[in-house]
Amino acid sequence: MPLNDERPTSSSSSEDQNSDVESSSERCDSMTSTSDVDCSRESFTSDCSSKHCSPSSSPPKTLTLEEVMESVVDVSNLSLTHEIIVNRNFRLEPDTLPQNSLWKVVRDNLHKAFWDILESELNDDPPEYGQAIRLLEEIREILLSFLNPGANRMRTQIMEVLDMDVIRQQADNDAVDIHGLSSYIITTMGKICAPVRDEDIKKLRESTDNIVTLFREIFHVLDLMKMDMANFTINNLRPVLQRQSVECERANFQSILEKTPNALNHTTTWIKSAKEELLSAINTEQAQGKGEKPAPGPFQILQTAFLQILTWDYNKSPLPETWITDEIRLREIQWKLQQCQAVNEVLLIVNSTVGGPIQGLTSLSDRLKRMTSVLLDGMHRPNFDLKEALESISAQICCELNKSLTERNYPALSPALQATLTGQICSITQKDNPIRTLVEDRVRQYFMVLICDLKPQAKLEQVPAGLTIIKPELAVMGAKFISLINYNRLVYGPFYADIIKKLMFIASNTTAVL
């Protein structure tokens, strides 16, 4: 923790969440002066002898509990490093337990018991300072931990004022100036805290509470200062990590793989399923007499695998190990995409059912889109009743349409047409619904173009026919998803190359045997 002349300023965590994606995208663009395909090509064709550039394989072994725990810590550290790199708004926040929760009740009771013991000891005649001395010793260590290596004068002063041997001798003679020590501690905290804590320090100086309550507040502010120090360190560390992020994350994952040889099992299954999907499509086309098709290549396999991540079923299969650090971001993209697809399906049905009288009415279309989006918000939640929501949306849409039609001297929708419209909108809950199938296929087509293109940023605004209603949302989600893919491919490309080579080698051997 720097001294006052170089105190960190607090950073707000309420910045626009899209800055996370923008910074990540900018970083990926800067790191890929050559195209992503070129980088991937090197992964598939270069000599994979470097430890930090390619995965190494180890024979299976039985892991001890200690090794398993080490792997868990390694994965946690990898996740933290990745979050710091890709999310410039990432910061640590104080733990907050839900009100009246069991954990909060237990914690509060334990803390109360501790401070009650301290108060009882200090109120004894003569006072007992054992607990107070332990607190002073802990405060001294916390204050010392905040100092820069060169702050020798303040370090010496803290050690002299909070000399535990001297304080114990004073305690033996009932001569401890506990109020004087607390005043010195608060003054020292004011010198080394971040500016955001100045108001807290002021309140400590002006406090008229008893010494026990004062010490409790001192520890509260010290906890906040520790959080400030951690966030200050993260902010300083972020540029370094970003400059070396690819090598750093790849090396971290390599160390996990060396300790846990099966750490790529789910990733292997994922890539294998993409290969099988492509082979199945080729076999179907050949059965339909469309001619011989070449076997899928490594780039085609990886592109198909990336597309699978967009619609991953988290209830059926665990996410590949190489994507775990981005799971929250991927889920958010998937949830938003599902909502946008449903909105697009609803409005396509409205336009095709009502037709000419509402064509070209941008304000009406925007109003229906906003209303539908609001009513479908949270549709990914397990307790969300999609059928009920669509019925409500249908009723609202019919009201809006009738109002718009009558204002422009068109006849209102007949009861039969309203019933047809409601039935068609509610039918999108069926997986084989033609409108739903059409929209989902074209969304996959849009994202596959982005994944395969050398310059995906230029394709973000080029949405397939039928998706113009959600064009702005698709562009945002496309930028987010491609940013994640670009970075993931840079970090884990050598691991993917090794897996695909093995899968293709097995396939070629099987063909030779047959």
pTM: 0.60
Q: What is the pLDDT of residue 1?
A: 39
Take residue 198 and report the two structure tokens written for it: 């100045």
Distance CA 337, CA 470 (A): 10
Mean pLDDT in order along the chain per 10 residues (514 residues): 40 40 42 40 41 42 47 56 67 68 73 81 82 89 88 91 90 86 92 89 84 88 88 76 77 86 91 92 79 83 95 92 90 95 95 82 90 93 92 94 89 91 94 94 95 88 92 93 90 93 72 42
Take residue 138 and report the two structure tokens written for it: 């802990």
Q: Which of 332, 366, 303, 375 is nearest to 477 (CA)?
A: 332
* Furthest-apart CA atoms within the chain: distance in Å: 101
Q: What is the pLDDT of residue 369?
A: 94
**What is the sign of the dihedral through the CA atoms of 150, 156, 159 and 161?**
negative
Distance CA 243, CA 27 (A): 9
End-to-end CA distance of the chain: 68
Q: What is the pLDDT of residue 50?
A: 38
Angular region, 163: left φ>0, alpha ψ -120 to 50, beta rest = beta
Angular region, 100: left φ>0, alpha ψ -120 to 50, beta rest = left
Distance CA 5, CA 154 (A): 14
Q: What is the pLDDT of residue 88?
A: 64
Take residue 132 and report the two structure tokens written for it: 């107070």
Take residue 470 and report the two structure tokens written for it: 């959600």
Distance CA 376, CA 390 (A): 8
Q: What is the pLDDT of residue 422?
A: 94
Distance CA 72, CA 64 (A): 13
